[in-house]
Amino acid sequence: MAAGALGAKRISPAAVHTANWVRWKCQFGCDGFGSSLVCPPHTPTPDQTRRMLDEYRRAVLFEAPLRQAKRIAAALERELFLAGYYKALGLGAGPCRLCPTCAMEAGCRHAEQARPAMEAVGIDVYATARGAGFTIDVVRSHADPQHYFGLVLIE
């Protein structure tokens, strides 16, 4: 699978679900909230995300191994950009782990690799992944399988 993805499906950007509650879950449930430029409140709102999604015609939703969604998203985005798809844009999963502490005011030290999580921009990953036919369930224990997803938008 491309760039290490476990599976991938072509979807319409219209099939990507956005919701205001998603960023609230980041704020009230994720210890990464506010810790980097790719986490809320520094990321676009769900309304901004929806408007941006509507500017694209195609997308690839992919499943990734643990902590690999952002790396895969950035790699696919670059590959597509170099192939002439200049609007390619990738989104990953989870908080940024590229630096021990985000540079914030100085700007991102790894802008070529840093990508926000889909959740950070208000994408309901569960609804989007399930709508595309992927399996994703609430993880109730460490023994439960975990599923991580990324998205690359393509014109």
User: Cβ(103)–Cβ(109) under 8 Å?
Assistant: yes
**Residue 1: predicted pLDDT:** 56
Q: How many domains does the chain have?
A: 1
pLDDT, tens digit, 9 for 90 and up, residues 43-83: 999 999 999 999 999 999 999 999 999 999 999 999 999 99
User: Cβ contacts of residue 124 below 8 Å, gap of 6+?
Assistant: 17, 18, 19, 22
The residue range of the domain holding 147 is 2-154
Say whether pTM exceeds 0.75. Answer: yes
Q: Is 30 helix (H, G, I), strand (E, B) or coil?
A: coil
Q: Please tell me whether the peptide bond between 145 and the residue prior to it is cis, using omega within 30 degrees of 0.
A: no
User: Cβ(9)–Cβ(133) under 8 Å?
Assistant: yes
Mean pLDDT of 102-116: 94
CA distance linking residue 77 with residue 152, whole number of Å: 6
